[in-house]
Each structure stands twice: as structure tokens, then as C-alpha cells.
Amino acid sequence: MNLAVSAPDRLVVRTVHIPDPGDLIARLPHPAALAWIRHGEGIVGWGEAARLEPPGGPDRFAVAARWLREVFGTASIDDPLRLPGTGPVAFGGFGFDPKSPDSVLIVPRWILGRRDGHAWLTTVGTDGDPLALLHPPHPTTRLTWSDGALTAPGWERAVAAAVDRIRDGRLGKVVLARDLHAHADEPIDARVLLRRLAAAYPGCYTFSCAGLVGATPELLIRRTGGTLDSLVLAGTTARGTGPADDAARAARLFASAKDRQEHAYAAEMVRDALAPLCAELTVPDEPELLTLANVMHLASAVHGRLDTDRSVLDVLAALHPTPAVCGTPTDTALQLIRELEGMDRGRYAGPVGWVDSRGDGEWGIALRCAQIEGTRARLFAGCGIVADSAPAAELAEAQSKFRVMQYALEG
């Protein structure tokens, strides 16, 4: 097994309490930003003290967990706060497909955080100036757009083919994604996108890791000590033109057999995946409505208590991929995705988030996001396909999901 690894023999880590730093995103000194922010709280990081790029394979979560235990286990850690996100932290993202080589974990040299009235700065392996690489953010100008792997009509044909397979009884649901390319005249600055996303979607988890930037509404898993929380989202409708239209669309969403079935698949899988790991687990009988700036989702909040001490990465291994981003049965849906999408998703729809030295962490599903590489951005959007799905309606839903990152890029 070949691992791409960058790490010193022993990390020296120091966390100190600091006055409230204000806007965390505004403190990022460089476009190569690491971030996990919701309602203004969370953590940001910059610099690189250690890095792992595990190879593709079904054991990539276990490989990452072992590496982190070695790196954090040998570290000298001075952390008087001992809160989730203090001490050494690894930001990470995993490829959606087990075959993907795109997974990465990064331990930054500086981590700035704020949570529940506490603020801190963690320094990892250096006493240098955390603002030494200060570069003011630069907004993107003059974007041009082009199709990704499939044109809109081509993607509608893929949806129709998936519906045929489902109606033939080969599977219950598959999630199909498409991509869209943006080209800028100058390098795209992740901090500009983060600022716009955090302001427009404060209830989402705004993230940045190794060029993947977005604002996901879906909390895959949060581990805090022995407790777990997950938010299952499946079943979507666009926002209306006003309160009355919103109410009508919400009523139709709740009454939609197609969307209720799609949500049930996702909630049942999360329950089945977490139950063997938990001494207690609560899954709602009925979903609630989660209203965002551009769409509404059927949502189920899941709560559990671990039966033994497990890292959040161990829980990720049990959960990913959920039917909300893959389908059911998982193996059949994954094969159909490979056949019909015509692209490699990379880290889109894979887990993205952070883990600390205690095994605590928050991980979302990398949705409403784009992969940034210099002057190029690759946007992604996906839709759950079941027997009653209509290709034109699914294309319209995907277009509404693209708007999140189109706004972030264009302002």
C-alpha cells in the first residue's frame, strides 16, 4: 500500500485561550484555507504541519484513523481548554467512491476556533508569525461557464435510464450527479467564496479543504465524547416566490410519495449503520422540514450514544455512502452511478469535516460545493432518483442546487 504522507516525527502542539477574534473567515491569511463554520462558530486553519493522502479502497477510513492515532498519539500537546476542536485537529475529505484516490487529511500549523463563548488559537510545530503569509482576498471577475461530463439533455437521458432500471426492480433508488465548469481570468480565492456562503447560508456548514469549498446542509455525523448526532436530508423542493408559495410547496413535499420514499431509504440506512455502534439510538418516526435560502428538505435528526470509545472516523466508515448520496442497495447504486454519470465525483458527496486528538469531530456530506484549482472551478449537484422521478423535474432541482456555488463565485 502506497501512502502519500508528510509529517514530522513528533508534533509539538499548544492551545491558548484568546479574546473573541471576530469573523473567523476574515482572519484567514491565505487562499489555501481550511474551514468549518456554522452560525459564525467553528474552526479555521492554515499552513500544513502534516498531511495524509490515503489510497482508494474500502479501508481508507481505517488507514486514516491509524495514521492519526500515530501522529496525535506521539504529539506533545498542551491544551488546557480540552474542548471539541482544541488541541491538534485534522481537516479532511474522503472520495465518494471507494476506488477514488482523492481522500486527504491535513493537520494545519495554525487553528483558530470559537465555540460556546470560548475562543482559542492552536499552534502546531512552529512559533512563527501566523500571519506571515498574509495575502488580501481577491474577488473573482469575468467568469465563463461550460458543461461538465454531460450536457443537460444528456443528463436527462441518464435519469431516464436510471428510472428504467428502478422500475425493472434492479434497485430502489440511485443518486445521480452532474458537474459544471467555471473559468475565471485570475485564480479563485477560497476565502471570498467562504465569506459569501457563510453570509447567505449561516445554518449550513461552510467548509474548505484542499480546494473543495462549499456549504452543506447535511451533517453526516458529529461525535462529542460518547454522543453522536446526524441529520438525514432526502426529499427536496425549491423555495417558492413568497410565504404562501413556500407553504404550498412544503405541503406538497410532505405529501409526495416519491420524496417520502427517498427520505425513508436514507433514514433507515443511517439507523441500520449506527445501531450496532450505539447503546442508545433515537430516529424520528416522521421527518421535519428544513428550510434553506434556496430549497426545502425533508429532515430527520438522529441521536445516539456510543457503546464503546470510537473515533468519529470509525463511525464514518460505517455510514458512508448513505442512500442520500448513493442509493439503495448501495453496491447496485454505486455501479449504476459509475455507468451513467460519465465522471469521477472526486470528493463531491463524500465526507468532509474535521477530527481532533480525542476522536471528536464534525463531518458533513460535501454537497453544494465546487473543487477549486487555480482559475478553474468544478461545481457539482445531485438528485435522488426513484421510480416516479421525471427527468425534467430532476434537472430543474439540480439547477437550483448549482445556484449556491454560482452565487458564491459571481457574488
The contacts of residue 262 (CB under 8 Å, 6+ apart) are 173, 234, 235, 323, 384, 386
Burial 212-240 (b: 16+ CB within 10 A, else e): bbbbbbbbbbbbeeeebebbbbbbbbbbe
Q: Are the C-beta atoms of 57 and 101 separated by less than 8 Å?
A: no
Closest CA to 368 of 184, 238, 206, 182: 206
Catalytic-residue membership of 99: no
Closest CA to 37 of 28, 56, 48, 24: 24
Catalytic residue from among 156, 218, 262, 394: 218
Query: What is the phi/psi pair of residue 245, to 5°?
Result: -65, -40
Strand stretches in 125-190, DSSP E: 144-147, 173-183
**What is the C-alpha to C-alpha distance for residues 94 and 320, in angstroms, rounded to an integer?**
10
Catalytic residue from among 53, 173, 258, 362: 173
Q: Burial, 288: exposed, middle or buried (Cβ in 10 Å; 0-12, 13-18, 19+)?
A: exposed
Grid cell 476565502 — which residue?
A: 191
The contacts of residue 168 (CB under 8 Å, 6+ apart) are none
> Which three cell numbers mark 151?
450536457
Catalytic-residue membership of 286: no
Q: Burial, 148: exposed, middle or buried (Cβ in 10 Å; 0-12, 13-18, 19+)?
A: middle
Q: Residues with catalytic annotation?
A: 173, 218
